[in-house]
Amino acid sequence: MFARLAVATVALLLVPVVPASAAGPLKDRTNRYVGSAVAAQPLNSEADYRSVLTREFDSVTPENEMKWAVVEPNRGQFNWSGADAIVNYARQNGKSVRGHTLVWHSQYPGWLNNLGSSELRSVVQQHINTEMGRYRGRIRAWDVVNEMFNEDGSRRQSIFQQRMGDNYVADAFRWARAADPSAKLYINDYNTEGVNAKSNALYNLVRTLKQQGVPIDGVGIQTHLSIQYGFPTSMRQNLERLAALGVDIAITEADVRIPLPADSTKLNTQANYYKQVWDACHAVSRCVEFTTWGFTDRHSWVPGTFPGEGAACLFDTNLRPKPAYTRINP
């Protein structure tokens, strides 16, 4: 009797959190991939983090572990430990992986700055080959080119743009297709949810790339929102026009930050924003993925980048579902 009780108590203690929704996990609510950015550190060390992730999501995006500065901090010296941990977790738990990201102006290693244009070109190709090749067949979709536009729709003057010229985008996609023909290849950006100068530029570029036969399969819409700004109500229209170009759409990094402290009014507004993103994706048949940039306020990039803001995720710091979660999975 006592032994049975003790076993029951231990079992209870081992279950980190109660199921979030009577309706079942979020991933079972939709035929879209439901993903989250994940970090290897809590994945390896926090049982409740791992358990909620496993229960609620069917896709994972390494938050930082596949970025160039992490995987090749010095030329020819590789560090795959975090990326491997996440890909292995995914394989063991039947999760899909979104690779993030190959060509990006941020978080690239400093040694690239010393390269001239022809050397940079071959190094970028080699980087794409090496990283995509390592995980060939195990990554569903890759963010090949990330954040290449300025807000006004002009091209960001990254080292790739400056040293390799306009064609760096088409080249990156061609190299990526060759490196892993089974992966869907995406261009990804932020502040491109609604119709605006930046999303117009994105639309025009994708149309041109398609016309040129460049192997691009999808457009990632990051969707970092704040309740301080109005919801981008033209989101559905924007997703529809992009999908009409013959590409898939993914919501790749959704979160909705709140000026702290959060209260029930703000959390309710946040819930409305998440629901509108969810609905915009579900209104467009080619929107194949709804991924959030982290799932718990315990681990979120927001407070570090926007002092005084936070509480941007679907689950609170104790991994309890917030109103936003319940709104999309009632």
CB distance 202 to 187 below 8 Å: yes
* Position of minimal CB gap to ligand 9MR: 301
> What binding mask, one character per residue, do residues 237-256 give for ligand 9MR by CB under 6 A, x or -?
----------------x---
Of 129, 215, 141, whose CA–CA distance to 182 is shortest?
A: 141
The CB-of-162 to ligand 9MR minimum distance in angstroms stands at 20
User: Which residues inside 293-322 make contact with ligand 9MR, applying CB under 6 A?
Assistant: 301
75: left (phi over 0), alpha (psi -120 to 50) or beta: beta
CB distance 290 to 253 below 8 Å: no
Of 70, 86, 88, whose CA–CA distance to 78 is shortest?
A: 70
The CB-of-231 to ligand 9MR minimum distance in angstroms stands at 19
User: Which residues inside 62-121 make contact with ligand 9MR, applying CB under 6 A?
Assistant: 63-64, 106-107
Of 93, 50, 53, 59, whose CA–CA distance to 250 is shortest?
A: 59
Q: Which pair of structure tokens corresponds to residue 162?
A: 């400056």
Active site residues: 147, 253
The CB-of-252 to ligand 9MR minimum distance in angstroms stands at 8
The CB-of-21 to ligand 9MR minimum distance in angstroms stands at 26
**Which residue among 192, 222, 291, 296 contacts ligand 9MR (CB under 6 A)?**
222
Residue count, binding to ligand 9MR (CB under 6 A): 8
Burial of 185 (0-12, 13-18, 19+ CB in 10 A): buried
User: Which residues inside 127-186 make contact with ligand 9MR, applying CB under 6 A?
Assistant: none
Q: Which pair of structure tokens corresponds to residue 175?
A: 């190299």
234 lines the binding site for ligand 9MR (CB under 6 A): no
The CB-of-305 to ligand 9MR minimum distance in angstroms stands at 6
Q: Give Cα separations from 245 to 32, 192, 213, 303 (angstroms).
A: 20, 16, 12, 37
Binding site for ligand 9MR (CB under 6 A): 63-64, 106-107, 190, 222, 253, 301
